[in-house]
Amino acid sequence: MDELETIRARKLEELVNTMEAPTVTLEKKMPAAPIEINDDNFMSAVKDHDLMIVDCWAPWCGPCRMLSPVIEELAKTYSGRVVFGKLNTDNNRRVAAQFGIMSIPTLLLFKKGRHVDTIIGAVPKRVIEDAIRKYI
């Protein structure tokens, strides 16, 4: 009888541990901070998320640096609904050429893997939010 109780207790503990094990949640799949996008992961990134905004930028670009905190704030605000990515156009010329990016910052909006909108320049936060609301 003691052996049966030991087995039962062990199985109960295993069951409890599996229930408490971390699971992949929407929050993990849709991060609260911009993710790094490059030529290699670009297509899978935009296809993996229902709504994604890719910030095309470069380290030397002043307006890009001004927009960066806005993008980070929006990533937190819209976490779970919108994924933000950052694409350094100096290091990832293939994607920049594919979308004809001639000015930075440029925001590319994708809905279900399809390019639906482009915002060029260091625009106010409300302009980006208006675009987000259009596609949510």
Q: Which strands, in side-by-side order, build the sheet including 106-111?
A: 35-37, 83-88, 51-57, 106-111, 114-120
Q: Write down the catalytic residue from 52, 54, 64, 71.
A: 64
Cβ distance 23 to 17 under 8 Å? no
Contact 92, 123 (CB under 8 A): no
44 CB-near residues (< 8 Å, 6+ apart): none
Which residue among 46, 61, 70, 107 is the active-site one? Answer: 61
40 residue type, one letter? D
Q: Does 61 qualify as catalytic in the annotation? A: yes
Query: What is the set of active-site residues?
Result: 61, 64
